[in-house]
């Protein structure tokens, strides 16, 4: 066993045009002032990070690491959630996802996909230059519009969809593996990888690729009514990153899992700030520690009620209180009888 690293914070939801959230140095100072020890860094926000420069320049990567270190922070992972999404977009979602791409590529799905591929390859190079071993992303989706089986899916549709998804990701996965970095997919509704079964389908389609791993976020499982503790028992060997995000599902007589097209505030299932939802984080941290999870505990703030700065401030203490300092001794060592092979044979009746 080892002690989980943290607390850390994902910066994507906090970046903005106002200080201290509008440049890398000041947002690092802010995160450190709250007690965070690590930051997960979005790669699409030029206010904080230049991915293309990082992919080609060791000096730039060293500068970024140095700024973080000057505030007592480590970088936990780079994130390409938006670029990963664009590697596979069904035409029904073209316009809704166009905003994730540069303006010059909007309305051109093929060029947008090629750009996403190059961004992911650049992220592999940048991660290696920064000596990171894990990376956070989304899988994208070709099948999400069929997630409910009505109308009936044609035979072979799901298999063909995952084969195409794997075809798009394999060159990226190979590059990450070559550089010693694991891609950790956040299993998320709207992505083809959104639960354990779909992750298994993807593994099968990629030949059990060693670089394909999981960013564990229990909030998405609460909203799907999936057993998020049993999930750790099943998939712990592939869990290499962890978003600490709370959620709740409050059943009612008007809408359910699908939410009735309501806003986040009105849906039965919604994300909450840490400690305000229903998730058993004591159980989660215990299981991850038991299975030897070696990564970071990273706050992802997404709450439709509480102010983000309050969520961030409270989140650092919440994570710190849940991190388990692992024991270096057994509780019954006081009663140990020592190592004696002859005694063992006698006890065994040999």
CA distance 220 to 226: 9
Helix (H) or strand (E) holding 38: strand 38-42
Residue 334 scores a pLDDT above 80: no
pLDDT at 328: 85
* Residue 24 dihedral angles phi and psi, to the nearest 5°: -65, -45
CA distance 184 to 97: 21
Q: Which CATH class is domain 5-347?
A: alpha beta
pLDDT at 30: 98
Q: Which two tokens stand for residue 256?
A: 């359910």
Q: What is the mean pLDDT of residues 276-296?
A: 98
Within 8 A by CB and 6+ apart from 208, the residues are none
CA distance 81 to 11: 12
Sign, CA dihedral 146-152-154-159, equals positive
pLDDT at 1: 85
pLDDT at 164: 98
Q: Which two tokens stand for residue 149?
A: 């089986």
- pTM metric for this prediction: 0.96
pLDDT at 337: 73
Taking only the tens place, the pLDDT of each residue in 85-124 is: 999 999 999 999 999 999 999 999 999 999 999 999 999 9
pLDDT at 330: 80
Beta strands in 229-327, from DSSP E residues, in sequence order:
239-244, 246-249, 269-272, 296-299
Pick the closest to residue 189 from 236, 232, 229, 222 (CA basis).
Answer: 222
Average per-residue pLDDT in the chain? 97
Q: Residue 336 — very low, low, confident or very high, per pLDDT cuts 50/70/90?
A: confident
CA distance 5 to 319: 10
pLDDT at 140: 98
Pick the closest to residue 113 from 155, 168, 42, 167 (CA basis).
Answer: 168
Bridge partners of 182? 134
pLDDT at 335: 72
pLDDT at 306: 98
CA distance 240 to 284: 14
Cis peptide before 7 (omega within 30 of 0): yes
Q: What is the mean pLDDT of residues 258-267?
A: 97
Taking only the tens place, the pLDDT of each residue in 205-227 is: 999 999 999 999 999 999 999 99
Residue 291 scores a pLDDT above 80: yes
Alpha carbon of 272 to those of 92, 192, 331: distances in Å?
A: 29, 24, 37
The DSSP letter of residue 89 is: B
Residue 162 scores a pLDDT above 90: yes
pLDDT at 182: 98
Within 8 A by CB and 6+ apart from 94, the residues are 109
Domain map of the chain by residue range? 5-347
pLDDT at 236: 98
CA 320 from centre of chain = 19
């Amino acid at each position: 066993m080892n002690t989980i690293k943290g607390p850390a914070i994902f910066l994507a939801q906090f970046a903005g045009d106002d200080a201290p959230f509008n440049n890398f140095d000041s947002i690092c100072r802010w995160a450190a002032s709250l007690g965070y020890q690590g930051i997960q860094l979005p790669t699409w926000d030029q206010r904080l990070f230049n991915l293309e420069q990082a992919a080609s320049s060791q000096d730039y990567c060293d500068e970024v690491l140095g700024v973080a270190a000057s505030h007592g922070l480590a970088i936990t992972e780079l994130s390409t959630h938006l670029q990963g999404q664009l590697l596979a977009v069904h035409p029904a979602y073209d316009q809704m996802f166009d905003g994730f791409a540069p303006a010059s590529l909007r309305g051109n799905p093929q060029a947008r996909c090629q750009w996403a591929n190059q961004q992911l390859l650049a992220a592999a190079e940048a991660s290696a230059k920064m000596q990171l071993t894990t990376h956070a992303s989304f899988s994208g989706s070709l099948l999400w519009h069929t997630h409910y089986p009505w109308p009936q899916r044609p035979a072979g549709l799901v298999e063909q969809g995952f084969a195409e998804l794997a075809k798009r990701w394999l060159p990226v996965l190979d590059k990450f593996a070559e550089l010693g970095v694991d891609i950790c997919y956040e299993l998320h509704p709207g992505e083809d990888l959104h639960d354990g079964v779909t992750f298994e389908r993807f593994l099968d389609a990629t030949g059990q690729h060693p670089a394909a791993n999981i960013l564990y976020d229990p909030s998405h499982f609460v909203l799907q009514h999936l057993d998020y503790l049993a999930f750790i028992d099943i998939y712990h060997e592939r869990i290499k990153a962890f978003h600490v995000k709370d959620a709740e599902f409050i059943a009612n007589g008007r809408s359910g899992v699908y939410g009735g097209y309501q806003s986040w505030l009105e849906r039965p299932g919604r994300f909450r700030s840490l400690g305000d939802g229903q998730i058993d984080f004591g159980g989660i941290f215990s299981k991850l520690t038991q299975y030897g999870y070696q990564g970071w505990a990273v706050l992802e703030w997404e709450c439709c009620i509480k102010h983000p700065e309050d969520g961030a401030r409270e989140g650092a203490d919440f994570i710190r209180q849940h991190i388990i300092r692992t024991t270096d001794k057994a509780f019954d060592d006081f009663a140990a009888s020592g190592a004696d092979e002859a005694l063992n044979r006698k006890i065994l009746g040999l």
